C-alpha cells in the first residue's frame, strides 16, 4: 500500500514527539511512497520512503526526487528551501530503530488495505469498512446517506468517547437537520470533491461520497486542534471514500429496501397527481402493510419556512416519520411532502391521539402542516391533497401562530374567496346592500347597519333592538322600510344566505361605502 507523508508523520510523531514534517518550498506535489529503504541509487529510491542516517549530507538529498525522506539528526541548513518532503526525528534515535518502526507502520496499513478489500469484495459491508479503522483513529467515524440517515459508525469508539447516544439513532436529529439545510451554502457543500471542514452543529471534517457524479452521502469525523492529526484524518477519509464508492457501485444502494414499499408509494403519488391507478392492486399492497378495509385515513402536508433545500429535507422527513409513527407513509412529490396517516392503524398501536403527536413534532421541528378531512377511500387522495394545500395557504394567513391547520376550519373562508374569484367584492355582493349603503349616504340613515345587526343576532328582534339601543317597534318599522325600499323578501332562505355571505365578503375584503 502506498502512503503519503501525512499518514506516516502522524504515527512517527506519536512515537517521537519532537519530530517535524517539512514540505520544501519548491515541492511540486506530495508523493505517494511504498515500503521504506535506506539510501540507494536515485532510480531505486524513486517512489519509496527513504530513511536517512545523520551521515547523509543535505546537499545530496536535495538532488533526489519523487521520494519522502526521513531524516535523523541535525541537517544544518533549512530543509524548507528544497523540492522534497521530509520527516525529521531527533538525533538521539538510532537509524535501525526508526527503520523498524516505519516497517511496522507500513505493515499496519497493508493489513488495513487487506481488510478494506475484504469488506468490499467478500463481506459487501459498509460496517466492515468503518470497523476496519478502529485501530487507526481515536475518534468515531460516521457514514450518513444523502437523507442524513446513519449507514454505519464506529460503535466501539462511539461508546468509548461518549458519542454512542448521537450515533445510536437512525437519523440525525431534525433540529440539527433544520439548522444545516437552512444555511444558504449547504447545498453547495455537497458538491465538494475533497475533504473539507465545516462548523455547523459540530466542528467536523467531511468527505462527500459520489456515485456516477451524484452526491449520495458523506463520511465525517471530528476536527481536532492538532493540524497533524487533522491532516492524517483527512487522508483516512480519502482512502475510505474510495472503498465506500466501490461498494456502492456493486450494490447500488446503502440500504436493502423492499421493492413493495417503493411500489405502493409510487401508486399513491400517482393518485395525488390524478393518474389512473389499479386501486384493487393498491389495496392488496396496503393490506400487506397492515391496512384494513374501512380504515380511516388523513393526508398531511408538511412545510418548512426555514429551509431552502426542500428536496433534501423532504426525503429526510419521509424516513424519520415512518420510523417514528406506525401506520404512516411519507410521500415525496416534487417539492411537496405528504404523510398518509392510517388513523385506525395508528390508534391500534398507540394510546396517544395523532394530532397530539403531530403538534409536538411540528414544534420541535419548526414545521407547519395542513390536514385534509378523514376518508376511507384511497382513490380520493387527489382531493385530500387539495384540501391540505387550502388548509396551509388559508391557515397561515388567518392563524400564523398555529402549528397545524385543519381543512374544515377554513373551508368556509375558502368558499368566500372562491366566490370572489375574478371579481371585486362589490361586484358580486347583493345589490340590495349597495342600494342601502347609497340611501344611507344620501339621507343620513342607518338602514344597512340595522339589517346587518339583525342578521348577526339570528333574526332576533329583541336582541337586535337592544344592540341598536332602539325600541322593538322602531326596529320592525325599519325592517319594513328596508323591504319596501329594496324589494327584499326576508322570508326567502336563499336571499337571507346571499345577504349574509355578502356581509361576510365585505368584512373579509374591507369594502368601504361608496363615496
Flag whether pLDDT at 515 surpasses 50: no
Q: Give the C-alpha separation, 286 to 125, whole Å.
A: 32
Q: Which among 288, 275, 272, 250 has a CA at the least distance from the CA of 332?
A: 272
Flag whether pLDDT at 304 surpasses 80: no
Residue with cell 390536514: 371
The domain 259-409: what is its CATH number? 3.30.70
Q: Give the C-alpha separation, 324 to 196, whole Å.
A: 32
Q: Which among 145, 173, 508 has a CA at the least distance from the CA of 323?
A: 173
3-state secondary structure labels for all residues of 324-379? HCCCEEEEEECCEEEEEEEHHHHHHHCCCCHHHHHHHHHHHHCEEEEECCCECCHH
Q: Give the C-alpha separation, 183 to 336, whole Å.
A: 20
CA 143-241-2 angle, 5° bins = 140
Residue 60's pLDDT band, with cuts at 50, 70 and 90, is: low
The domain 425-509: what is its CATH number? 1.10.10.2840
- Say what the pTM is: 0.58
| CATH class assigned to 124-251 | alpha beta
Q: Give the C-alpha separation, 70 to 50, whole Å.
A: 6
- Which segment of 46-55, 298-307, 333-342, 398-407 scores lowest on mean pLDDT? 298-307
Decide the pairing of beta strands 404-406 and 150-153: unpaired
Residue with cell 526521513: 70
| Mean of pLDDT values over 114-137 | 93
34-53 pLDDT per residue, tens: 999 998 888 888 899 999 87
Q: Edge-to-edge strands of the sheet including 48-52?
A: 20-23, 85-89, 68-72, 48-52, 34-38
Q: Which residue stretches of 145-256 are H helix?
A: 155-161, 164-167, 174-182, 186-189, 227-251
Cβ atoms within 10 A of the Cβ of 368, count? 20
Q: Which among 5, 65, 80, 59 has a CA at the least distance from the CA of 36?
A: 5
Residue 99's pLDDT band, with cuts at 50, 70 and 90, is: very high
Flag whether pLDDT at 306 surpasses 60: no
Q: Please list the residues that pair with 298 across neighbouring strands.
A: 341
Helix/strand/coil percent split, the chain, to 5: 50, 15, 30
Question: What are the phi and psi torsion angles at 159 (to 5°)?
Answer: -65, -45
Could you give the C-alpha distances from 211 to 208, 216, 259, 480, in angstroms and in order? 10, 7, 21, 80
Amino acid at each position: 500500500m502506498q502512503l503519503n507523508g501525512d499518514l506516516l508523520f502522524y504515527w512517527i510523531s506519536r512515537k517521537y514527539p519532537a519530530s517535524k514534517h517539512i514540505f520544501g518550498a519548491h515541492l511540486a506535489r506530495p508523493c505517494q511512497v511504498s515500503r521504506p529503504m535506506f539510501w540507494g541509487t536515485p532510480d531505486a529510491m524513486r517512489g519509496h520512503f527513504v530513511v536517512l542516517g545523520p551521515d547523509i549530507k543535505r546537499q545530496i538529498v536535495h538532488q533526489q526526487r519523487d521520494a519522502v525522506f526521513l531524516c535523523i539528526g541535525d541537517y544544518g541548513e533549512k530543509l524548507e528551501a528544497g523540492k522534497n518532503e521530509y520527516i525529521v526525528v531527533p538525533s538521539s534515535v538510532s537509524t535501525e530503530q526508526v527503520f523498524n518502526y516505519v516497517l511496522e507502520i507500513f505493515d499496519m496499513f497493508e493489513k488495513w488495505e487487506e481488510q478494506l478489500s475484504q469488506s468490499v469484495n467478500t463481506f459487501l459491508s459498509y460496517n466492515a469498512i468503518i470497523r476496519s479503522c478502529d485501530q487507526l483513529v481515536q475518534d468515531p467515524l460516521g457514514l450518513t446517506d444523502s437523507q442524513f440517515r446513519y449507514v454505519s459508525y464506529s460503535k466501539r469508539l462511539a461508546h468509548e468517547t461518549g458519542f454512542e447516544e448521537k450515533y445510536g439513532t437512525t437519523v440525525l436529529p431534525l433540529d440539527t437537520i433544520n439548522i444545516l439545510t437552512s444555511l444558504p451554502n449547504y447545498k453547495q457543500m455537497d458538491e465538494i470533491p475533497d475533504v473539507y471542514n465545516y462548523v455547523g452543529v459540530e466542528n467536523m471534517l467531511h468527505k462527500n461520497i459520489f456515485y456516477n457524479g451524484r452526491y449520495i452521502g458523506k463520511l465525517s469525523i471530528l476536527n481536532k486542534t492538532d493540524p497533524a492529526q487533522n491532516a492524517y484524518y483527512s487522508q483516512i477519509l480519502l482512502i475510505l471514500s474510495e472503498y465506500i464508492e466501490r461498494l456502492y457501485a456493486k450494490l447500488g444502494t446503502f440500504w436493502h429496501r423492499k421493492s413493495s414499499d417503493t411500489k405502493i408509494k409510487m401508486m399513491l403519488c400517482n393518485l395525488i397527481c390524478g393518474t389512473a391507478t389499479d386501486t384493487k392492486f393498491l389495496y392488496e399492497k396496503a393490506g400487506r402493510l397492515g391496512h384494513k378495509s374501512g380504515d380511516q385515513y388523513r393526508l398531511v402536508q408538511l412545510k418548512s419556512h426555514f429551509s431552502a433545500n426542500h428536496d433534501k429535507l423532504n426525503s429526510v422527513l419521509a424516513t424519520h416519520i415512518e420510523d417514528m409513527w406506525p401506520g404512516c407513509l411519507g410521500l415525496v412529490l416534487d417539492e411537496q411532502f405528504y404523510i398518509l396517516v392510517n388513523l385506525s392503524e395508528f390508534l391500534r398501536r398507540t394510546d396517544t391521539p395523532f394530532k397530539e403527536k403531530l403538534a409536538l413534532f411540528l414544534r420541535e421541528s419548526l414545521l407547519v402542516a395542513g390536514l385534509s378531512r378523514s376518508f376511507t377511500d384511497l382513490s380520493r387522495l387527489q382531493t385530500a391533497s387539495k384540501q391540505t394545500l387550502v388548509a396551509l395557504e388559508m391557515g397561515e394567513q388567518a392563524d400564523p401562530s398555529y402549528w397545524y391547520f385543519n381543512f374544515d376550519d377554513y373551508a368556509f373562508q375558502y368558499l368566500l374567496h372562491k366566490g370572489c374569484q375574478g371579481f371585486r367584492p362589490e361586484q358580486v355582493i347583493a345589490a340590495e346592500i349597495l342600494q342601502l349603503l347609497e340611501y344611507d349616504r344620501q339621507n343620513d340613515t342607518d338602514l344597512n347597519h340595522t339589517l346587518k345587526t339583525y342578521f348577526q343576532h339570528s333574526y332576533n328582534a329583541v336582541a337586535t333592538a337592544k344592540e341598536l339601543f332602539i325600541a322593538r317597534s322602531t326596529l320592525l318599522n325599519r325592517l319594513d322600510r328596508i323591504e319596501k325600499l329594496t324589494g327584499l323578501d326576508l322570508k326567502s332562505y336563499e336571499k337571507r344566505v346571499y345577504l349574509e355571505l355578502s356581509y361576510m365578503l365585505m368584512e373579509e375584503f374591507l369594502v368601504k361605502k361608496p363615496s
